[in-house]
């Protein structure tokens, strides 16, 4: 059993601050997304805006829980900071978390009007975030009040994009309020490669992960399987990926090329970054086996979107 530690201490918080994180509670944080900054300056948009209609300048990138049981090779976060599997008290209040996240987001973009390239209309709209990307760091399903957080966002008519590693299926099963869109990270096509790539601290991680895939097919919300494609590591066994995808029966599948960033540079090499054409070719092989088709792509982000032929409306009504 992993030794449980306290929520982030002052030294850890200082490390996070240096990485441009901002704490909005005892264990929750936000960070202004690269694409939010780009969008405010009319320099580009996130692939989620192109694929799903989520305005990049109105998206709050956050996490309700900074700890994670996995140490994935490709993760750009500092995976050495948090590897526990349970939060300790005091537990952040969901309403206060949302209030603080929005307040901090507004504070962090406050200086943008000083940039001559700023889109002032987007800046005004950005004062009221329309979506929460619950994906910044850590594993959000470890937050015991996740259901209340999702309900709070729904009450405020804010879209929720929840990203999970799939190791806590019971947490998802017990949700009464589901996220607008639920992402599950699929990092390997088989158990052996999964152990190599995700380096989980949980001995039954593969079993738990597969339980989540089985659950995914039953959830009444938009679901996404996301594959981070790492050259010379997990871009293999397309049939294995296909079988897992068909088990989950997701609304969409995103195949995104690995980027050599942050903490992953200590583990992987720049040669592990695939070209967009390599990512697209890999996605095409999976699509063919899983009876899916490519419905969109964003070369700048090296990401390809797959769905069934009768896929539902992609764009959310903002």
Instruction: Examine residue 313 and state whether it is found in any structural domain, yes or no.
Output: no
C-beta pairs of 205-212 under 8 Å, 24+ apart in sequence: 205/69, 205/70, 205/167, 208/166, 208/167, 208/168, 208/169, 209/165, 209/166, 209/167, 210/244, 210/247, 211/169, 212/164, 212/166, 212/167, 212/168, 212/169, 212/172, 212/184
pLDDT at 2: 38
Picking from 70, 74, 79, 80, the residue whose alpha carbon sits closest to that of residue 233 is 74
Question: Would the CA dihedral through 52, 54, 57, 63 be positive or negative?
Answer: negative
Beta bridge partners of 254: 226, 305
- 65 pLDDT above the threshold of 80: yes
Region 284-288: what's the mean pLDDT?
A: 98
Query: In this structure, how many other beta carbons lie within 10 angstroms of the beta carbon of residue 314?
Result: 16
Indicate the Cα dihedral angle 172, 190, 260, 181, nearest 10°. -30
Picking from 219, 46, 233, the residue whose alpha carbon sits closest to that of residue 135 is 46
Instruction: Examine residue 80 and state whether it is found in any structural domain, yes or no.
Output: yes
Q: What is the pLDDT of residues 138-152, one digit of tens each?
A: 899 999 999 999 999
pTM of the model: 0.92
Instruction: Examine residue 318 and state whether it is found in any structural domain, yes or no.
Output: no
How many structural domains does the chain have?
A: 1
Q: Alpha-carbon distance 254 to 76, whole Å? A: 18
103 with 19: CB under 8 angstroms? no
Picking from 276, 295, 285, the residue whose alpha carbon sits closest to that of residue 236 is 285
Strands (E) across 69-176 are located at 131-134, 159-164
Instruction: Examine residue 199 and state whether it is found in any structural domain, yes or no.
Output: yes
Range of the domain at 155: 12-307
Instruction: Examine residue 7 and state whether it is found in any structural domain, yes or no.
Output: no
Could you tell me the CATH number of the domain that includes residue 261? 3.20.20.70
pLDDT at 290: 97
Instruction: Examine residue 312 and state whether it is found in any structural domain, yes or no.
Output: no
Taking CA 12 as the corner, what is the angle to CA 197 and CA 203, rounded to the nearest 5 degrees? Answer: 30
- 81 pLDDT above the threshold of 90: no
4-8, 36-40, 167-171, 237-241: least confidently modelled range = 4-8
Instruction: Examine residue 3 and state whether it is found in any structural domain, yes or no.
Output: no
pLDDT at 14: 74
Instruction: Examine residue 316 and state whether it is found in any structural domain, yes or no.
Output: no
Q: What percent of the chain has pLDDT over 70?
A: 92
Q: What is the pLDDT of residues 165-197, one digit of tens each?
A: 999 999 999 999 999 999 999 999 999 999 999
Which pair of structure tokens corresponds to residue 85? Answer: 């599997």
Q: What is the pLDDT of residues 49-60, one digit of tens each?
A: 999 999 999 999
Picking from 105, 21, 17, 24, the residue whose alpha carbon sits closest to that of residue 60 is 105
């Amino acid at each position: 059993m992993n030794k449980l530690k306290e929520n982030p201490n002052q030294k850890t918080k200082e490390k996070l601050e240096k990485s441009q994180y901002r704490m909005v509670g005892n264990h929750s944080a936000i960070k202004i997304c690269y694409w939010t900054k780009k969008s405010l300056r009319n320099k580009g948009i996130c692939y989620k805006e192109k694929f799903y209609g989520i305005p990049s300048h109105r998206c709050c990138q956050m996490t309700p829980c900074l700890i994670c049981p996995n140490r994935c090779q490709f993760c750009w976060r500092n995976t050495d900071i948090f590897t526990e599997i349970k939060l300790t008290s005091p537990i952040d209040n969901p309403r206060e978390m949302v209030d603080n996240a929005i307040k901090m987001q507004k504070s962090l973009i406050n200086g943008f009007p000083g940039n001559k390239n700023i889109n002032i209309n987007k800046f005004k709209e950005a004062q009221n975030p329309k979506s929460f990307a619950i994906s910044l760091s850590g594993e959000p399903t470890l937050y015991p009040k996740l259901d209340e957080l999702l309900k709070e966002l729904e009450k405020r008519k804010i879209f929720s994009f929840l990203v999970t590693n799939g190791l806590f299926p019971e947490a998802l099963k017990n949700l009464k309020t589901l996220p607008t869109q639920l992402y599950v990270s699929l990092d390997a096509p088989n158990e052996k490669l999964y152990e190599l790539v995700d380096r989980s601290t949980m001995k039954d991680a593969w079993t738990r992960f597969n339980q989540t895939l089985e659950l995914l097919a039953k959830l009444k919300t938009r679901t996404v399987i996301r594959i981070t494609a790492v050259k010379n590591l997990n871009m293999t066994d397309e049939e294995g990926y296909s079988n897992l995808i068909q088990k989950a029966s997701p609304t969409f599948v995103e195949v995104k090329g690995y980027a050599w960033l942050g903490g992953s540079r200590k583990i992987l090499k720049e040669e592990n970054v695939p070209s967009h054409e390599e990512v697209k070719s890999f996605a095409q092989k999976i699509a063919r086996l899983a009876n899916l088709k490519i419905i969109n792509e964003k070369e700048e982000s090296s990401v390809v979107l797959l769905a069934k032929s009768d896929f539902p409306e992609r764009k959310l009504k903002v």
